[in-house]
Amino acid sequence: MRYENVCIEAFGYTLPDEIVTSEELEQRLKPLYERLRLPEGRLELMTGIRARRFFERGTLPGDKSVASGEKAILAAGIDRLQIGALIHGSVCRDYLEPATASRVHHELGLSPRCLVHDVSNACLGLLDGIVHVANMIELGQIRAGLVVGTEMARPLVEHTIASLNRATELTRGQIKPAVASLTIGSGSCAVLLADRQISRTDNRLVAAAVRAHTQHNALCQSGSDEAVGHGMQPLMDTNSEKLMHEGIETGAETFPEFLAEADWTRDQIGQTFCHQVGLTHRRLMLEALRLDPQRDFATVDWLGNTGSVALPMTLAIALDRGVV
């Protein structure tokens, strides 16, 4: 997919105030750690994540998506009536029905002629939304579009801790599928895309490439389909080692196709941003893509894995800090 008329016009993001360290999670896991004689510091050592953040209790994803969306609109200086599509792309939603995008659309005061829907695709939701909106702009169907999402880590992390402490029959090997759940953090991000004809930045979105290795769909699975507003208590079962290996292989096969589509070489890339899973994943992915780790900006060590908002929010933070 090659784009000639699409600009990434502005970002908006919202970070939680509550910081939860890996050391604090291990204190909450004291019954499990004592029973299995696990060494303290294991969680940070395995993941490279020293902290993650939680939104305040009672917060709905839509609350923060509205805040992030408003920031992006104000940063772009765009007439909100020109926004022709709103996609809410996070795993977390207010309710199963209606679409969380419906509430966000209403509270942002967007046009009634705006296309409104949720996209659910695990950690790819916001990136999928960006591609959908970019395609619509490139086709001339809309002038601008907003992609937004908010991930709520507290229910997953706290439910995982309670389950691990309660299940006294688990061995060291049996707790491995739950470790990935303890890396999750909260965050919210919005990305506003615009047609070059109305763009004030000319920050081009050049290309996208996709591959689907869906034979690995069972490597990370959560529980039943629950929404935050209905007391979500999810659990995830993740084969972390194999998921990392297969994900990196998929990325390595996709990247040459992306370079060809963008008409770029590796040497032309001045800065990179990975999906923020863990420091080992980041190192191995950059090695597989043959990219310089010194040119990569990371937030995973202090924000954890924030799911679908991880990559765009990391990019937004880097822009705020003048990295790009």
44: left (phi over 0), alpha (psi -120 to 50) or beta: alpha
Q: Residue with structure tokens 């998929």?
A: 250
In a domain, 23, yes or no: yes
Q: How confident is the model at residue 262 (pLDDT cuts 50, 70, 90)?
A: very high
Is 123 catalytic? The answer is yes
Which residue segment(s) compose the domain that 299 sits in? 6-320
pLDDT at position 177 is: 81
pLDDT at position 207 is: 97
Is 97 catalytic? The answer is yes
Q: How confident is the model at residue 3 (pLDDT cuts 50, 70, 90)?
A: very high
Q: Specify the number of domains making up the chain.
A: 1
In a domain, 189, yes or no: yes
In a domain, 77, yes or no: yes
In a domain, 165, yes or no: yes
User: How large is the average pLDDT for residues 267-278?
Assistant: 93
Distance CA 317, CA 112 (A): 32
Mean pLDDT, the chain, rounded, equals: 93
* CATH for 245: 3.40.47.10
Residues 63-105: tens digit of each pLDDT = 999 999 999 999 999 999 999 999 999 999 999 899 999 999 9
In a domain, 170, yes or no: yes
Residue from 7, 92, 114, 123 carrying the catalytic annotation: 123
Residues 216-243: tens digit of each pLDDT = 887 777 765 566 655 555 676 767 778 7
Specify the long-range contacts of residues 301-304, CB closer than 8 Å, at least 24 apart.
301/48, 301/49, 301/50, 301/51, 302/50, 302/51, 303/15, 303/51, 303/52, 303/53, 303/185, 303/187, 303/276, 304/49, 304/51, 304/52, 304/53, 304/153, 304/183, 304/184, 304/185, 304/276
What is the pTM assigned to this prediction? 0.92
The percentage of residues in the chain with a pLDDT greater than 90, rounded to a whole number, is: 81
